[in-house]
Amino acid sequence: MTEPGDPRGTRWGTRRFSLRGRVTLLAAASVAGAVALVSIGAYMVVRSNLYQQLDDGLMARAQAAADSPQVQTSLRQVPGAFLASADLQIGQLNAAPDVQHAVMTYPLSSSAPPFDQRELNVANGDSPESLRTDFRTDSRVVALPSGHGEAIVLAQSMGPTKRTLNELALVLFLIGGAGILVAAAAGTAVARTGLRPVDRLTSAAERVAKTGDLRPIPVSGDDELARLTQTFNTMLGTVADSQERQRQLVADAGHELRTPLTSLRTNLELLLAASKPGAPPLPHEDRADIVEDISGQLDELTQLIGDLVELARQDEPRERFERVELLDVVERALDRARRRAGEINFDVSLQPWVLTGDNSSLERAVLNLLDNAVKFSPPDSTVWVRLYPLGDGTAVVEVADAGPGIAEEDLPKVFDRFYRSSEARTLPGSGLGLAIVKHAAERHGGAVYASQAPEGGALMTIRLPGAPG
């Protein structure tokens, strides 16, 4: 006997009650239940009909015997039915005060039918008729009055009827057993055929677990299992896309990290070489330039690593979103952007908008747009910020700057990871800011767009579903 949680019991239970076994068992049990109900119903109906026919026939013959003419014998007159009742026990019961003194007259070729006080009551006129089962002789007994203080008593054995019922029960049992076996075989065949796609899914899952091969499974048919296979293929495709994005992110991050790390190493080697005994000292201006360069590279690395962490955090599934007041999100992002905007002015027009999502992710996306606009705007210029609904169940956050704008060939690529236009390569940044914006918008069911602002600079737009606040 295994304890709860014992793996032996789990393995035994899995083998003993596999899905194919449960389908077979269910099919056999369903057919067994149906056959049992039908067989019991048929048996009870036939049993009732046979006994009813026995009673009706016995009553009719008793009535015919009571109405038949008297026949003179060497002893006395008896009903003529005595001479034509070889399959019955028939007798004429004379009335008496009690059973012990009653007299039963019956044919010499037969035996006396059983009788008791109920038949005697019929002979005395106290009861119009009597029909009962005599369990001592296993027969049905009927009594009808024949007049003059007498009653005709007929008894017929129930043995033939019971034999017929026993034969019927045996036939029903054999047919039911055969039906259950056929149902079990059919259930096994159906389970084997129907669960073949499940076997393919199992093999595919095991293949993925062992080899990491994410090839889709061939789909045949349009039933529930085919849809399950399609869903599994969709999941495999999603996993493959996720792996591809991870590989691309690692490759791009490695490429972006190589330049600042190389520069840091070169500068540090120069400082170390200059600090060795006997080495010519570095001029003060060169040392200051190297230190400034190292500081700038460290800042770039810090920002790059922070953006990579933000992208990885946004890829994590959220168990639930919360109500987001987009107006509050934009205002918080504006407060942070103003503190580091220097001489840049902001022209702001915001309308309330509510959606379900992640506050921090949306705030980071809006802040990235604002920082991007500030970076490309000349001193004393204006950044325009707008939040308004479009009337189709979506609203847009627009950020426009007064910078040089975006070249036409760069517009489709500005939201790609690590993409930096030729104008932006000389400016600080990781190349991930706009990619984070795109990821946040798509994660909330929205989209991002880049175009030229009417003032000549760049216009960045986030479009999000929701409702007026």
162: number of Cβ within 10 Å: 14
Instruction: Give residue 294's pLDDT.
Output: 80
Pick the closest to residue 93 from 102, 82, 83 (CA basis): 102
Same domain, 55 and 173: yes
341: which 2 tokens?
């905007």
Instruction: Give residue 385's pLDDT.
Output: 92
Same domain, 64 and 181: yes
- For the chain, the average pLDDT equals 79
Tell me whether residue 10 is in a domain. no
Instruction: Give residue 9's pLDDT.
Output: 45
Same domain, 404 and 445: yes
Range of the domain at 330: 322-468
Same domain, 162 and 249: no
Residues 101-119: tens digit of each pLDDT: 677 877 766 788 888 888 8
Largest CA-CA distance found in the chain, in angstroms, rounded: 164
Instruction: Give residue 2's pLDDT.
Output: 47
pLDDT exceeds cutoff 60 at 1: no
CATH code, domain with 403: 3.30.565.10
Tell me whether residue 155 is in a domain. yes
CATH code, domain with 260: 1.10.287.130
| C-alpha distances in Å from residue 359, one per residue of 13, 323, 354 | 48, 8, 11
Residue 458 amino acid letter: A
Same domain, 167 and 204: yes
Same domain, 29 and 168: yes
Please indicate whether residue 273 or residue 421 has the higher confidence score (pLDDT). Answer: 273
Q: What's the number of domains the chain is made of?
A: 3
Among candidate residues 161, 185, 213, the one where a domain is terminated:
213
Same domain, 265 and 378: no
Residues, the chain, total?
469
- What's this model's pTM, rounded to 2 decimal places? 0.47
Among candidate residues 259, 291, 318, the one where a domain is terminated:
318
Tell me whether residue 2 is in a domain. no
Give me the mean pLDDT over the 148-175 stretch. 89
Same domain, 348 and 313: no
pLDDT above 90 covers what percent of the chain? 14
Tell me whether residue 9 is in a domain. no
Residues 425-456: tens digit of each pLDDT: 445 545 677 888 888 888 888 999 888 888 77
Among 90-94, 169-173, 310-314, 437-441, the range scoring the smallest mean pLDDT is 310-314
Please indicate whether residue 85 or residue 206 has the higher confidence score (pLDDT). Answer: 206
d(CA 280, CA 276): 9
Please indicate whether residue 150 or residue 225 has the higher confidence score (pLDDT). Answer: 150
Which alpha helices (DSSP H) does 215-356 contain, by range? Answer: 224-275, 284-315, 326-339
Tell me whether residue 98 is in a domain. yes
Same domain, 157 and 180: yes
Tell me whether residue 8 is in a domain. no
pLDDT exceeds cutoff 50 at 131: yes
Same domain, 276 and 201: no
Tell me whether residue 3 is in a domain. no
Instruction: Give residue 353's pLDDT.
Output: 93
Among candidate residues 318, 348, 365, the one where a domain is terminated:
318
Please indicate whether residue 198 or residue 378 has the higher confidence score (pLDDT). Answer: 378
Same domain, 271 and 370: no
Tell me whether residue 6 is in a domain. no
Same domain, 137 and 265: no
Residues 51-102: tens digit of each pLDDT: 999 888 888 888 887 777 765 544 455 454 444 445 688 888 887 777 776 7
Residues 233-278: tens digit of each pLDDT: 888 888 887 777 777 667 666 656 676 777 788 888 888 887 788 7
